[in-house]
Chain A
């Protein structure tokens, strides 16, 4: 069961670590100072959350958080491709829409994990949810504000939404060995979590005039496999950059 638990915790941790890294790329480049600070702060939270998930594995004799983050080959990461996508042209609408879709998913995931029968995870989810409420408030507020503002804001949000939607849908791709996890009472099936996520975001997206529905299967098919270790073309460069400093002095104490 340890291997199954590792799959679950790495998928949660890696999503947070990689999105935290992407959020941090906004430092110094936000459209206004407050957003620069917001993305930096949210990114720091997400990286801290990743560390706390890795620590649950460390407590069971598996590698340390630093080893998981900085010394793991690309194919052993289990994050969703949504979080790997680069901040192309630093389009704030795209960063905001990703933050919105992801943090809605985190709300749903963490609320469910509070009931997990794996107690260390239930305790951690309770803590993280209390921190995450600010992320969700931030994302929701800006999507609603910009969705009702200028034509340009609306169109840019809409094009970000269309680009990201299939990737966001696959945040809830079935995990390897998911049946055993559900059987153990660790989490509800991802298909069920996706339904709850849709219930949360549909009224908000519909409120700004966006249609919500399942992506076409021919769109989804080539994007699948992230939870099995299949990385997107963007991951290698991200990992090289993220591990550059630690790789320069592998034995250093930080």
Chain B
């Protein structure tokens, strides 16, 4: 008998192609998992509603579980906000490995989220926000005044 816990372990193989260092489980995107015989229901919680990777992730979840002989139904839930608090310690470590600066103040407002950021390359706090937007919805672009490089902040919804 397959357990939801096993399903979660298998889903460690599913990663957003834009951030392959972190699984969707460690990203906190996997909500409820229920198993009934060979049928599995997985709740997928998008980080941003407009994230274009969702359809791909849905297909990959189904493929991973199919390889275990399970038939998966993936329900994308937009009615439940995704929260950065759901990212696991392994998830934060993966985001750091991916080269992102990480926010220190997760809840509240954008001004708090963009405060007290340090450069992921040189560690300097002499940085400024170039734009709250970036190549994907979950990134903002900063510039470091010490090393002169641009870098990206991982930007969860607040």
Give chain B residues whose Cβ lies under 8 Å from the Cβ of A79. Answer: none
Q: Name the prevailing secondary structure of the A interface residues.
A: helix
- The distance from the CB of A5 to the nearest CB of chain B, in whole angstroms, is 15
Q: Does B135 contact A (CB under 8 A)?
A: yes
A40 to B141, CA, bound (A): 14
Q: Does B6 contact A (CB under 8 A)?
A: no
Q: Is B132 interfacial (CB-CB < 8 Å)?
A: yes
Residue in contact with A127 in the complex, picked from B52, B81, B132, CB distance below 8 Å: B81
Q: Pick the contact of A37 from B51, B81, B82, B135 — CB < 8 Å?
A: B135
Given A127-B157, A133-B110, A137-B110, A44 and B137 contact (CB-CB distance below 8 Å): yes
Q: Is A38 an interface residue (CB 8 A)?
A: yes
Within 8 A of A (CB), among B120-158: 130-137, 141, 155, 157-158
Instruction: Find out whether the CB atom of A48 lies under 8 angstroms from the CB atom of B48.
Output: yes
- Sorting the interface of chain B by its residue count into under 10, 10 to 19, 20 to 34 or 35 or more gives 20 to 34
- Complex CA–CA separation, A131 to B140 (angstroms): 13
Report the stretch among A49-57, A144-152, A211-219 that lies at the interface: A49-57
A63 CB, min distance to chain B CBs, angstroms: 17
**Cβ of A34 under 8 Å from chain B:** yes
Binary interface encoding of chain B residues 81-112 relative to chain A, with 1 for a CB under 8 A from any of its CBs, else 0: 11000000000000000000000000001110
By beta carbon, the residue of chain B nearest A128 is B49
A127 touches B79 (CB 8 A): yes
Residue A31 at the B interface, CB < 8 A? no
How many angstroms between the C-alpha atoms of A134 and B141 in the bound complex? 13
Shortest Cβ distance from A138 into B: residue: B132
- Answer yes or no: A42 CB below 8 A from chain B CBs: yes
CB distance from A12 to the nearest CB of B (A): 13
Task: List, in ascending order, chain A residues with CB within 8 A of B110's CB.
Answer: 133-134, 137
* A42–B136 alpha-carbon span in the complex (Å): 10
> In the complex the two chains form, is A37's CB within 8 Å of B49's CB?
no
| B10 touches A (CB below 8 Å) | no
**Which positions in B face A, CB cutoff 8 Å?**
48-52, 76, 78-82, 109-111, 130-137, 141, 155, 157-158
